[in-house]
Amino acid sequence: MSNNYKCLIADDMHESVIFLLKDIGVTATYLPQITRQEIIDQLSEYEVLFIRSKTHVDEDLLQNAHKLKIVGRAGAGIDNLDEAYLSSKNIAVINAPEGNRDAVGEQTIGMLLSLMHNIHKSHLEVISKTWDRAGNRGIELAGKTVGIIGYGNMGKAFAKRLSGFGCTVLAYDKYRKEFEDEFCTAASLSEIHTSADILSLHVPLTDETRGWIDDDFFSAFKKSIYFLNLARGEIASLNAVKNALEQGKLLGAALDVLENEKLDTLNLEQEKVFEYLSKAANVILTPHIGGWSHESYIKINEVLVNKLNQIINSDVSFT
């Protein structure tokens, strides 16, 4: 393929992406504030489109994309891409989970330790001049069994960081075979339900996983557990999280993602659940920042442009 490619960057990305693209002979147009209609109107000029999470790539967006060969998602999840349509048009998809897996692994550890040792809770109490040592006695991670669902880049990054804590790590991944390594033991979902003290989600949002974590899912655990979701909010019903907390099935929850992250658009039911979670002492909420470190902002660009370069210099043909 000719590498006289033009790339439209339609979302916020670290400025390094422009220079990285230039180094491989791709001309970048950086328009992070571009509207959806403007993308539709201008996309006919480009062979490559880079987006983050705000832009949904579907047939409507690509109606004028006659030259488009590659869509790059600056991040891990590709649930905002219509993969079937892109495949039908022979448009390649690349993403960059390798770029933010370390950030997610570290944030998951941080949220878990904060939850188990009451770090955030006791901080809020101390600054309000409440000195409660007994009420904030922590629970050690050592000796606990951690269940990880999804053992791709993110799940493995978390398991790797758990390796020094003296805990047992069980991993379940429906779509991977022979993935067991020095950081985890492969397990069935039933084994995780039986043995886990802690559950962490690291699966993509798909039709199969949407709404998967519900009341029945939590009820299947033999122990009361700590629950972490740094994957996608739509995978776990927040109402089910609330119910499990109230019933004591969850000892605590750390959520970096929510079903509806546009907090000014919550409906009445969502508002009630959010109010409960935001006031619960054993819940930690963060604004989808798990993979959003200063370092990952740059590493994502490096991964994405490297994959783009591999395609440009490969024998892949687009018809």
Decide yes or no: CATH 3.40.50.2300 for domain 5-95+295-312. Answer: no
Residue of 69, 64, 153, 66 lying closest to 104 (CA atoms): 153
Average pLDDT over residues 283-304: 97
Average pLDDT over residues 237-258: 98
Average pLDDT over residues 284-310: 97
Q: Where are the domains of the chain?
A: 5-95+295-312, 101-285
Which sequence positions are flagged as catalytic?
Answer: 232, 261, 288
Residue of 297, 298, 311 lying closest to 47 (CA atoms): 311
Confidence check: pLDDT of 213 > 70: yes
Decide yes or no: CATH 3.40.50.720 for domain 101-285. Answer: yes
Confidence check: pLDDT of 2 > 90: no
Q: What percent of the chain has a predicted confidence (pLDDT) above 90?
A: 96
Q: What percent of the chain has a predicted confidence (pLDDT) above 70?
A: 97
Per-residue confidence (pLDDT) for residue 316, from 0 to 100 = 54
Per-residue confidence (pLDDT) for residue 314, from 0 to 100 = 85
Cα-flanking dihedrals φ and ψ of residue 241, to 5°?
Answer: -60, -45
Q: Which long-range contacts (CB under 8 A, 24 or more apart) does 285-288 make?
A: 285/255, 285/256, 285/258, 286/107, 286/111, 286/254, 286/255, 286/256, 287/256, 287/261, 288/256, 288/257, 288/258, 288/261
Average pLDDT over residues 278-298: 97
Over residues 151-186, the pLDDT tens digits come to: 999 999 999 999 999 999 999 999 999 999 999 999
Across the chain, what does the average pLDDT equal?
96
pLDDT bucket at 3, cuts 50 / 70 / 90? low
Q: What residue ranges in 19-68 does DSSP mark as E strands?
A: 26-30, 48-51
Confidence check: pLDDT of 307 > 50: yes
Per-residue confidence (pLDDT) for residue 4, from 0 to 100 = 86
For the four alpha carbons of 85, 88, 93 and 97, in that order, the dihedral sign comes to positive
Alpha-carbon gap, residue 153 to 290, rounded angstroms: 13
Average pLDDT over residues 31-40: 96
Per-residue confidence (pLDDT) for residue 1, from 0 to 100 = 42
Confidence check: pLDDT of 43 > 70: yes
The stretches of 163-222 forming alpha helices (DSSP H) are 189-195, 215-219
